[in-house]
Amino acid sequence: MAIMAPARGSLTLGVLAASQVVLLLDVTLVNVALPSIQRELHTSAAELSWVVNAYTLVFSGLLLLGGRAGDILGHRRVFTAGAALFTVASLLGGLAFNAELLLVARAAMGAGAALTGPGSLALIATGFPDGRARNRAYAVITSAGSVGMMLGMVVGGALIEWGTWRWTFFINVPIGAAVVVLSRSCLHESPRLRGRFDVAGALTATAGVTLLVYGVVRAAESGWEDELVVASLAVAAVLLALFVAVEARAPQPIMSLGLLRDRRRAGACVMRLLLTAAMSGMIFFLTLYVQQVLGFGPLETGLAFLPTTLTVIAANRAVPWLLQRAGPKPVMVGGSVLAVIGMVWLTQISATSTYVSMILGPVLLFGAGHGLVSVAATAMAMADLPAGEHGGASGLIQTMQVGGPLGIAVLVAVYEQVGGTRVQALAGAFTGALVLSLLMLGTALTVFGTRRRPCT
């Protein structure tokens, strides 16, 4: 394995971080732009929802394939191809003159992101030395994604207020182009795994994950009793079970089942799933609260969540040091405790609550908890990997982002079941997010051993 010099490592980290910023920036940018898109392109509510869902479905469904493609073809090559596809698709989205073209662009952006995302983690695992240097690189990448997501709400609000929704797509183009150009000179190619694609595994994994995400996304809109929801989840379960059977017999599986035999790696995946579910649900319902109850506009809403970025970055920067001295379990438990405290606070929300009294504290606490858990879980998932499995592990940990739509769908169901006033229903949804956070804490306490084993 070639380990790069410090100066080159900084350039590599800069390129990988920029890719994460643009991928996560796009998620919240587009959400802010939806009302403007609907007005200009005259889209129906169903078409508008697919502007978000087309990206989510394709991205989630192709992550495992994208990770394995990097193992076989080279992670730099696949990363660069994904960044190029994402950039061209963003340009197409900005130029779209009807809903159909915009949906095609969003699906292509999801495919590009699925190729780029796993490559970022895999290139760190194969290019940075074990220990604190590698964990620091994971922390930088995680911080970049958090900054992109939170800045997207602010930048999106500003672009909509002072310009046009099309700039929420065009803004990706110069950043993506720079990543494509610099990746060829700043990134080392990873060792390539000799072999061929596991076609059966790729088909069952892609179809299974896509139907799973479709089912939970539709459940948030139509309820869990909807026939299409039930059918898609049932078929997804069958396909994912078939995927496990195929992978157990495949000579070169798209995802080695041995990755999940490591208790720490399996626990890290569960932690990321629960963390993403709780975080996505919290942001979704707090956005409703600040806009519908407090009367915030799009730009004010983005600024309201900006403090979260500060605690995420601060916690991210502390994780490499903490992992070396305390080991992963205290970091995971500490981050989960902070998230639980933040959620307990939010369950006390009322019609007379203010931003300072009820929102600022919880988002700071949850942001710190998110920063600790996300970096530690990523480092644990990518630790001690056999040669040729970095892409598979990267695709696996990033697939846990399906927790986002799953968390929103579950908490929307809770919100609707609680009834009462809008604020009472919101308090019920936050109670549901608290349960997810408690499950995360329980996982941290029970799955990970007490031995002070650093993530390397």
Q: Which of 332, 321, 421 is nearest to 374 (CA)?
A: 332
Domain boundary among 163, 196, 229: 196
**Is 271 found in the same domain as 135?**
no
Residue ranges of E strands in 173-269 = none
Q: 103 and 65, same structural domain?
A: yes
CATH number of the structural domain spanning residue 326: 1.20.1250.20
What pLDDT is stored for residue 5 in this prediction?
A: 43
**Which residues of the chain are under the pLDDT cut of 50?**
1-7, 452-454, 456
Residue 1: helix, strand or coil by DSSP? coil
Quick check: 123 and 3 in contact, CB under 8 A?
Answer: no
Final residue in a domain of this structure, among 176, 196, 216: 196
Give the number of domains in the chain: 3
pLDDT at position 195 is 66
State how far the Cα of 307 lies from the Cα of 364, in Å rounded to an integer: 7
The answer for 128, left when phi > 0, alpha when psi is -120 to 50, beta otherwise, is beta
Sign of the C-alpha dihedral, residues 432, 434, 439, 443? positive
Strand spans (E) along 340-443: none
C-alpha torsion sign, points 139, 143, 146, 148: negative
The answer to whether residues 62 and 160 belong to one domain is: yes
Domain identity same for 205 and 322: no
Amino acid occupying residue 373 = V
Q: Are residues 325 and 207 in the same domain?
A: no
Q: Does 275 lie in the same domain as 148?
A: no
Do residues 374 and 353 share a domain?
A: yes
Based on the fold, state whether residues 313 and 179 are members of the same structural domain.
no
Predicted local distance difference test score (pLDDT) of residue 423:
87
Are 303 and 221 members of one domain?
no
pTM above 0.85, yes or no: no
Model pLDDT, residue 454: 46
Q: What is the pLDDT of residues 336-392, one digit of tens each?
A: 999 999 999 999 998 889 999 999 999 999 999 999 999 899 888 888 777 677 777
Q: Specify whether 143 is located in the same domain as 217.
A: no
- In this structure, the answer to whether residues 356 and 401 fall within a common structural domain is yes
Determine the Cα–Cα distance for residues 89 and 103; give it in Å rounded to an integer.
Answer: 10
In terms of residue numbers, what domain contains 361? 260-456
Distance CA 172, CA 25 (A): 8
- Does one domain contain both 284 and 215? no
